[in-house]
Amino acid sequence: MGKRSGSKRKDKNKVILPPELPPEIDDDEVDLSDEDIAFYGTDSSNVAHFRHFDKKSIDRYVGRVAGRDEGEVERLYEERQKRKATESSGRPREDDDELEVDPVDALPTKTLQGELVYNRAKKARSEDNTGSVKTKAQENGADAKKIIKKDEPKGKSKNKKGDDNKVKNIQSQTEVPKGQLHSNVLEEVKEELSAEELFEKKKAQLAELGMAMLEDPESNIRSLNDMLSISNDKDQKVVKLGLMSLLAVFKDIIPSYRIRQLTEKELAVEVSKEVKKTRYYEYTLIRCYKAYLQKLVSLEKQPQFYTVAVRCMCALLDTAPHFNFRENLLASVVKNLSSSDDVARKMCCEAIRSLFINEGKHRGEATIEAVRLIADHVKLNDCQLHPDSIDVFLSLRFDEDIGKDETEEEKVKPKKNKRWQKSQEVPKQLPVNDKKKTRQELISKAREEVDADLRAVSFSLDPKERKRIQKETLSALFETYFRILKHSVTTSNSRTKVNNVSPSGLHPLLTPCLAGLGKFSHLIDVDFMGELISCLKKLSGYSDRQDEIPNDNALSVSERLQCCIVAFKVWRSNLEALNVDLQDFFVQLYNLILEYRPDRDHGEVLADALKTLLWEGKQQDMLRAAAFIKRLATFALSFGSAEAIAALVTLKHLLQKNSKCRNMLENDSGGGSLSCLVAKYNPEATDPYLSGALASVLWELSLLEKHYDISVSSMASNILSMANLNPTQNPVPILNVNPLEAYRDLSMERELLKPASKSLPLNLKKKRRGKEFVALSPDVLKKADCSVDKHELEEKLQSHFAVLRSISENERLRGELNHTLSSINMYKEYKKQQKKKNMKFKTGRKKVAKV
């Protein structure tokens, strides 16, 4: 963009300055601007990106380049020129600044050959630019010519610009003496102006450099240094702008391959100029990228740059997960996953998610790294992180057949499992070492280069390799999950004694962890199943603690329900082959139903639990089914319609599956028909087997038929109709959904989202009411009839009269008084007039006397 504006400037300047330039350069320039246009035409996404980072000023540049209204562009430009002309008193100093500011040139540069080259401070940066290219050009021979040609006009235009400015400076300096009196004030103003000016200038510079970079990264790669140095500025805004510009540049120029460190041997071999050039380019790029990342990491610690730095890192991670220094980037981003800053956290989560989803960009290597880093992070922070940091795992994707595989894989599996078990105790370094080792095993040294080339060319991954990566990812993932579970178990045990922390804050990671376990339950290895289930059992509140007051349990009802759900999902996704006793979870659910509170806990979780544990299950134990049926019916009587319908759907399902329980619908010989161990139903029993529910009758349903909600009441009557059917028959299905769906359909949120039912039908029995009162009680009405006491009335009326009379009297008197007073006042007036008359008279007389 700087180019284009530069060309404009040049066009303008042409009028003033003698035509120094040969015509062919002009042609070249035309070419260039065409390229420019082409660039912006094709890569509009880039332009859009540019637009993001600056609110006002860059927008102006971009807008200009994006081919907006030419006239406006001209006007803007004119304006800026004008402003510069008037304010440029601070200009010379700035120019000096610029010379000093370029610290990059002051520092030695290491060339490819390893020599240290000191750049001398040149008078104009543009010369430096062309000069450096020239040196390169000498090496590169004919190729470079073009570059010179390209660069010359730029440099020249800059020179000219400088000249122009000088002229203007002179003008403005002549103006300065006028304001000598206010020199102090002016000084201050100038300082302020120059700060602003400086900012404007830096911005322009950044833009120009960035443009140049994008346009021809090969030859302008050194501008990266300049940009880096600009972003070292004191001005925060400039720094931010610099970071963002660099980000944009890097996003564009980062190659699609990883740059490899050159070996000694390779360095020793003589290479062609072409190769040298490329090496130089790559070397500079890597060096600057590293510097940039270091800068980001250091700035991230400063609160004012925190968001910008995180944004840059996330964007880089998103675009270049394959490139060098990914590990550092990942580390920073993962660290910020649990940031307290909402914006930064969201960005990081998004970056990691996209990393997981777009594995093609990095062949899954970054995924495993990220998962491992998160795992370490969780470990280091003792599971006290923001839930989002674990939530990202839900975006992970695994191949379906990863678990069950060929025999070859079978061998690896137990080994890996052992490794996982080890890794619980052994510090985290091991997996990394392992990875390297396996790599060395798999890929021979001789094949390394070829392989790298191959991979660089094709992104497709060897299926074996892919499987390996996925397996490792999976193990790291489950390691994290298990760590969280274990942690929750231990702390919930210890905390129950302390009993002073609010339950929700204790295990921030548990909910996403359970969600993740639920999602990846089919991938869990059978070997851990037992341990996992026992963990969940503990967490769901099983054990002797259930007699205690539930509030003491550190886990919330929702979390405990989730534990039950996960346990069942795990069990079921492994084809129920697992021989674990899940009875305890039923007991838990049976009791948790009573602990559920509509506003505190998530109704969906409860409905999900009903669905997973009861609705999806096959035939249940009869006693247990009966206990649940009774409890769910009672539950439906005390809870809202959404919960009630979920309970009823489950209940109906249970009745259908367990036809013997249908006896509960009938009242035979005073009470339940089936005799069982417990003769009398005890609603408060904690064990479903001991509740004696089979002996009870579902009277609840008769009341639920009167439920205000039509779907609940019809469901209740539907269930009741089962009593008349024989055990194999089922009633007409009225609501063919699972409990979760039923819950969602009736939840208040959903109901309020439904469009309001308009125009209610109006069919009233015409019945005009008589005069009797309907709402007001007779006592109240009686009060109206007792008439006012006569004397009181008289008194009141009379006083009313008296007040009115005295008011009117008052009014009258006031009028009279005013009138009299004004009459008296008039006397003075009268006197004055008299005097005047007298005076006139006298003067008249005097005059007469004089005459």
Partner 1 sequence: MAKKLGKKARKFARKNLQSAAKRNRKIRNQFNHRRGPRRGGSAGREDGDEDVPQQVHDSTMVTNDAAAATLIHGLEFPEDDAELDADLSDSDGYLSEDPGCPYYSDSEDEKAAKDCIMEDGLDRQNDDMNRDIKKQKKKLKKLLDKDPEFANFLEKWQSELESYRSKEDSDEDEMDSMDDDDSNDENSPNAKVLTSKTISEWCQLVSKDPKSPALRNLLNAFRDACRHGVHSHGPSMQRFQNARVFYQIITFVLSELDNVFRALLEIQDDANKGKIMNLRNSKKWQTVDPLIKSYLQNSLDLLSQLTDNKMLAFVLTRLRASMVLFSAYPSTSSRLVKILFRLWASGDQGLSLSAFLMIREVASLLPDCLDLCLTKSYNTYIASTKLVNDRNTKHIYFLTDCLVELYSLDVQKSYERAVTSVEQLNAILRQASKTKEKEDLRKIDNWQYINCVNLWVRFLCCHYKDYNLHPLFSEVLQVIRGVAHLFRGTRYLPLRLRLVQMLNELSTCSQMFYPIPSLLFDCLEFREVSQKEQTQRTKINFSSLLKVPKNLLKSRDFQEECVLSAIQVLSAHFAQWSYHVSFPEVATIPLFLLKRLHEQTTIESLHRPIKRLIDQVTENKGFIERKREVVSFSPNDKASVDSFLQEEKVSRNASFTRFYASVAENCQPKGRKTL
State how far the alpha carbon of 219 is from the alpha carbons of 18, 144, 267, 780, in Å.
Answer: 30, 9, 22, 98
Query: How far are the Cα atoms of 482, 520, 578, 614 from residue 581, in angstroms, in the given order?
Result: 20, 21, 9, 15
d(CA 143, CA 155): 19
Closer residue to partner 1 (CB): 75 or 840: 840
b/e burial code for range 41-55 (CB count within 10 A of at least 16 → b) = eeeeebbebbeebbe
Binding mask 671-700 for partner 1 (x = CB under 8 A): x-----------xx------------xxxx
Determine if 648 is a binding residue for partner 1 (CB under 8 A).
Answer: no
Q: Which stretch binds partner 1 (CB under 8 A): 240-248, 403-411, 584-592, 665-673?
A: 665-673
Task: In angstroms, give the least distance from the CB of 554 to partner 1.
Answer: 17
Window contacting partner 1 (CB under 8 A); options: 127-135, 207-215, 577-585, 820-828: 820-828
Which of 18, 70, 787, 848 contacts partner 1 by CB under 8 A?
A: 787
Distance CA 431, CA 561 (A): 34
Q: Does 749 bind partner 1 (CB under 8 A)?
A: yes
**Residues in region 387-446 near partner 1 by CB under 8 A:** none
Establish if 756 lies at the interface with partner 1 (CB under 8 A).
yes
Q: How far apart are CA 5 and CA 613, in angstroms?
A: 70
- Is residue 839 near partner 1 by the rule CB under 8 A? no
Of 24-32, 481-489, 524-532, 744-752, which part binds partner 1 (CB under 8 A)? 744-752
Residue 692 C-beta: closest distance to partner 1, Å: 14
Q: Does 357 bind partner 1 (CB under 8 A)?
A: no
CA distance 552 to 496: 6
Per-residue b/e over 114-138, b at no fewer than 16 CB within 10 Å? eeeeebeebeebbebbbebbeebbe
Beta strands 109-110 and 116-117: pairing type?
antiparallel
Angle, nearest 10°, between helix axes 125-140 and 273-300? 140
Contact 547, 499 (CB under 8 A): no
The answer to whether 655 and 719 are in contact (CB under 8 A) is yes
Candidate list 232, 294, 729, 820; residue touching partner 1; CB under 8 A: 820
Candidate residues 766, 847, 848, 851; the one interacting with partner 1 per rule CB under 8 A: 766
Q: Does 644 bind partner 1 (CB under 8 A)?
A: yes
Closer CB to partner 1, 400 or 772, in the complex:
772
According to CB under 8 A, which one of 271, 526, 734, 813 is a site residue for partner 1? Answer: 813
Q: Which of 343, 677, 804, 839 binds partner 1 (CB under 8 A)?
A: 804
- 490 or 798: CB nearest partner 1: 798
> Considering only residues 761, 847, 849, 851, which one is a binding residue for partner 1 as defined by CB under 8 A?
761
Residue 771: phi, psi to the nearest 5? -95, 5
Residue 280 has which token pair?
């130089």
| Bridge partners, 116 (sequence order) | 110
543 to 582, contacts with partner 1 by CB under 8 A?
A: 549, 551
Residue of 482, 500, 484 whose CA lies nearest to 387: 484
Site for partner 1 in 185-224 (CB under 8 A): none
The binder of partner 1 chosen from 773, 836, 843, 844 (CB under 8 A): 773
Q: Taking contact as CB under 8 A, which single stretch among the options 90-98, 119-127, 331-339, 639-647 is the one that binds partner 1?
A: 639-647
Number of residues near partner 1 (by CB under 8 A):
105
Which of the stretches 197-205, 229-237, 433-441, 815-823 binds partner 1 when contact is defined by CB under 8 A?
815-823
Helix 57-65 vs helix 2-16: crossing angle, to nearest 10: 80
Closest CA relative to residue 639, chosen from 688, 691, 603: 603
Question: Which residue stretch of 13-21, 252-260, 468-476, 763-771 sits at the interface with partner 1 (rule: CB under 8 A)?
Answer: 763-771
> 164, 197, 479, 643: which one contacts partner 1 (CB under 8 A)?
643
Q: Would you count residue 706 as binding partner 1 (CB under 8 A)?
A: yes
Does 774 participate in binding partner 1 (rule CB under 8 A)? yes
Binding of residue 667 to partner 1 (CB under 8 A): yes
- Per CB under 8 A, the list member of 286, 594, 622, 737 interacting with partner 1 is 594
Q: Does the footprint of partner 1 cover residue 841 (CB under 8 A)? A: no
Q: Which residue has the tokens 């060319």?
A: 457
In the numeric block, the tokens 């949120």 are attached to 749
For partner 1, the closer CB: 618 or 766? 766
C-alpha 277 chain-centroid distance:
42
| 830 contacts partner 1 (rule: CB under 8 A) | yes
Q: Rule CB under 8 A: which of 125-164 touch partner 1?
A: none
723: contact with partner 1 by CB under 8 A:
yes
CA distance linking residue 9 with residue 154, whole number of Å: 11
**Dihedral angle over CA of 626, 628, 629, 634, nearest 10:** 130
DSSP 221: T
Separation CA 397–CA 319 (nearest Å): 20
Q: Which is nearer to partner 1, 784 or 851 (CB)?
A: 784
- 802 touches partner 1 (CB under 8 A): yes
Stretch that binds partner 1, among 257-265, 617-625, 732-740, 818-826 (CB under 8 A): 818-826
Nearest to 423 by CA among 364, 350, 480, 384: 480
Q: Which is nearer to partner 1, 30 or 802 (CB)?
A: 802
d(CA 626, CA 645): 18
Helices 583-595, 557-573: axis angle to 10 degrees equals 150
Q: Give phi and psi for 291, each to the nearest 5.
A: -60, -40
Nearer to partner 1, 288 or 704 (CB): 704
Q: Is there binding between residue 347 and partner 1 (CB under 8 A)?
A: no
* Minimum distance from residue 835 beta carbon to partner 1 (Å): 13
Q: Which is nearer to partner 1, 574 or 696 (CB)?
A: 696
Cα-to-chain-centroid distance, residue 433: 34
Regarding 826 and contact with partner 1 (CB under 8 A), the answer is yes
501 counts as binding partner 1 under rule CB under 8 A: no
- By beta-carbon proximity to partner 1, the closer residue of 44 and 810 is 810
247 lies in the binding site for partner 1 (CB under 8 A): no
- Pair 90, 189: CB distance under 8 Å: no
